[in-house]
């Protein structure tokens, strides 16, 4: 029986070819294709064949993407609307059992079904197909892995979809093994006619010089970091001559110290508590420096307020107290306070505003990506201080309340219609959310990993030329991240292209 309304679908030969290959390979297939290449339609074609066998669940890593998939299912399938459900954590657990029982095609966040399996609210025999959108998120501690184990034990077919499967073969194999995906289908623009359905993407890197004041503040904070690093070296926790520890190296120091704290030796325990305090102080001060230099003044001020709160508790956080009572640190804070009180814009923000004026003159729809809500607030505040940008932007970020989610949906709809020309977003819009009207994305906060970079790039170039800006401060935090992420992205794309040319026999089965 056919439920898919194919008359509403733009037919592409590449999609038909992938569906045919999936059918030939059998169950448990991972599909790797570029963003906006039609992976969802491919999943719908597969789902259409399984609906007669049992329930189909389309999993997404966040609520907004799950809601989008739910709306697409309603649009493209002729099922009774009562047989289609959106199941997320907003539905009380005691009510979800009824939702699962009456629905045939479900869009859901993975944690809900894991929880409902654990509490006996659902029967595994009712399910025929699990679709894992963004399957690359299937790490050991992610719910996709738990669902794959359940599916494997109960003979439920799995289908994975992703544009960013990993930076190398080993990482890809690890994810495939965890999700029990035994076959791989790969398509790229170079290996097929996919390029006919995509538009050029133009990328621009903008290196923003530090002001004299920011250089001064950075020197002060880096000197304090060097003092802490020297103490850690004296304790034998750090080797090498690096001036600033990476977050990974710092976490290794803290993990080692935490294990030693569990020992019975009182001297060792005292020593390692001291090491933990130093490492935590280094971590917090490094983060403050990073925010001050690479984000904006308001974001740095907000983090300082968090440190003050931690230091002022009845049982204060020692690392935070050491930071806020340091005389050199307070020299920086005095200068930062004046900048926040006067509304002075960060040099990166000024560069952003210059770009926005030029883009809005061309009536472009723009998404600005940043890492957190404080950075969003700083950008919005700076834009509101400029007449030509006042009222032109809205912020969107992950929401947990019904009211917050409804407001996010309202803002997204206003952006799609052109009522709002600029969105300031955290990671919520990086993966999967379909916003076809985007002309330009601006990476105010640089992508922290290669998958994020590729997902952000996928927001543009769907129906017309796309433009991508990367803003980096002339400081090692931004510059090293910019070049490292570009290098890893090239490596991932190179691996995907090689897979598309010659897919090697599945090796992942040997991993589990």
Which residues of the chain have a pLDDT value below 70? 138-141, 166-168, 189-199, 240-243, 257-271, 399-401, 430-434, 500-512
Which residue ranges form the domains of the chain, and what is each CATH number?
A: 6-197 (3.40.50.300), 201-208+347-490 (3.40.50.300), 212-342 (1.20.1320.20)
Whole-number pLDDT of residue 58: 97
Residues in the chain: 512
Residue 159: enclosing H or E segment and its boundaries?
A: strand 157-162
Tens of pLDDT along 303-327? 999 999 999 999 999 999 999 999 9
Average pLDDT taken over every residue of the chain:
85
Measured CA to CA, the distance from residue 5 to residue 77 in angstroms comes to 6
* Token pair listed for 10: 């733009």
191, 503 contact by CB (below 8 A): no
Strand, helix or coil for residue 31: strand
Integer distance in angstroms from the first to the last C-alpha of the chain?
A: 37
Whole-number pLDDT of residue 417: 87
Whole-number pLDDT of residue 259: 65
Angle 205-208-214 (CA atoms, 0-180°, nearest 5)?
Answer: 150
Of 453, 217, 480, 449, which is closest to residue 330 (Cα–Cα)?
A: 217
Residue 366: enclosing H or E segment and its boundaries?
A: strand 366-369
Backbone angles phi, psi at 425, to 5 degrees: -125, 150
HSE-up (13 A, CA, CB side) for residue 201: 19
Tens of pLDDT along 352-389? 999 999 998 878 899 999 988 999 999 999 999 998 89
* Token pair listed for 443: 């990476």
Tens of pLDDT along 277-306? 888 999 999 999 999 999 999 999 999 999
- Supply the Cα-derived Rg of the chain in whole angstroms: 25
Whole-number pLDDT of residue 167: 60
* Token pair listed for 314: 């009845």
How many whole angstroms from its chain centre is CA 7? 34
Whole-number pLDDT of residue 81: 93
Backbone angles phi, psi at 327, to 5 degrees: -65, -40
Q: What is the 3-state secondary structure (H, E, C) of 83-141?
A: HEEEECCCCCHHHHHHHHHHCCEEEECHHHHHHHHHCCCCCHHHEEEEEEECHHHCCCC
Dihedral class, residue 508 (left if φ above 0, else alpha if ψ from -120 to 50, else beta): alpha
Whole-number pLDDT of residue 190: 58
Measured CA to CA, the distance from residue 112 to residue 31 in angstroms comes to 24
pTM reported for the whole predicted model = 0.75
Whole-number pLDDT of residue 194: 56
């Amino acid at each position: 029986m056919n439920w898919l309304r194919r008359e509403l679908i733009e037919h592409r030969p590449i999609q038909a070819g992938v569906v045919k290959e999936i059918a030939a390979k059998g169950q448990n297939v991972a599909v790797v294709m570029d963003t906006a290449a039609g992976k969802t339609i491919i999943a719908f074609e597969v789902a259409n064949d399984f609906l007669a066998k049992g329930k189909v669940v389309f999993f997404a890593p966040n609520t907004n993407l799950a809601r989008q998939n739910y709306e697409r299912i309603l649009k493209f399938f002729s099922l009774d609307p009562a047989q289609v459900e959106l199941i997320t954590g907003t539905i009380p657990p005691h009510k979800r059992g009824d939702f699962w029982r009456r629905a045939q095609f479900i869009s859901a966040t993975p944690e809900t079904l894991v929880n409902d399996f654990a509490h006996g609210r659902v029967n595994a025999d009712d399910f025929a197909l699990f679709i894992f959108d963004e399957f690359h998120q299937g790490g050991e501690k992610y719910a996709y892995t738990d669902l794959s184990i359940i599916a494997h034990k109960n003979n439920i077919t799995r289908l994975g979809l992703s544009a960013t499967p990993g930076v190398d073969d080993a990482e890809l194999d690890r994810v495939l093994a965890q999700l029990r995906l035994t076959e791989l289908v790969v398509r790229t623009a170079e290996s097929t006619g996919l390029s006919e359905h995509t538009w050029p993407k133009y990328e621009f890197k903008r290196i923003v010089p530090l002001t004299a004041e920011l250089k001064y503040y950075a020197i002060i904070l880096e000197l304090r970091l060097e003092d802490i690093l020297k103490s850690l070296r004296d304790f034998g926790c750090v080797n090498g001559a690096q001036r600033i520890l990476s977050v990974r190296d710092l976490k290794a120091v803290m993990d080692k110290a935490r294990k030693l704290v569990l020992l019975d030796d009182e001297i060792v325990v005292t020593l390692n508590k001291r090491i933990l305090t130093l490492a935590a102080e280094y971590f917090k001060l490094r983060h403050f420096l990073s925010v001050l230099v690479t984000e904006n003044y308001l974001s740095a001020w907000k983090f300082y307020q968090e440190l003050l709160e931690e230091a002022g508790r009845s049982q204060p956080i020692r690392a935070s107290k050491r930071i806020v009572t340091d005389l050199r640190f307070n020299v920086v804070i005095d200068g930062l306070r004046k900048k926040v009180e006067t509304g002075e814009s960060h040099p990166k923000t000024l560069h952003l505003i210059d770009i926005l004026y030029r883009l809005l003159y061309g009536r472009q729809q723009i998404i600005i990506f940043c890492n957190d809500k404080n950075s969003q607030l700083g950008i919005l505040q700076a834009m509101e201080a400029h007449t030509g940008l006042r009222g032109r932007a809205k912020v969107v970020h992950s929401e947990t309340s019904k009211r917050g989610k409804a407001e996010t949906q309202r803002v997204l709809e206003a952006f799609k219609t052109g009522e709002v020309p600029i969105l300031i977003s955290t990671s919520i819009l990086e993966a999967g959310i379909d916003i076809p009207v985007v002309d330009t994305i601006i990476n105010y906060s640089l992508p922290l990993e290669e998958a994020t970079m590729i997902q952000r790039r996928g927001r543009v170039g769907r129906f017309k030329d796309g433009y991508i800006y990367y803003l980096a401060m002339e400081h090692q935090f931004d510059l090293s991240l910019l070049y490292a992420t570009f290098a890893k992205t090239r490596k991932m794309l190179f691996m995907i292209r090689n897979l598309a040319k010659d897919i090697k026999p599945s090796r992942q089965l040997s991993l589990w």
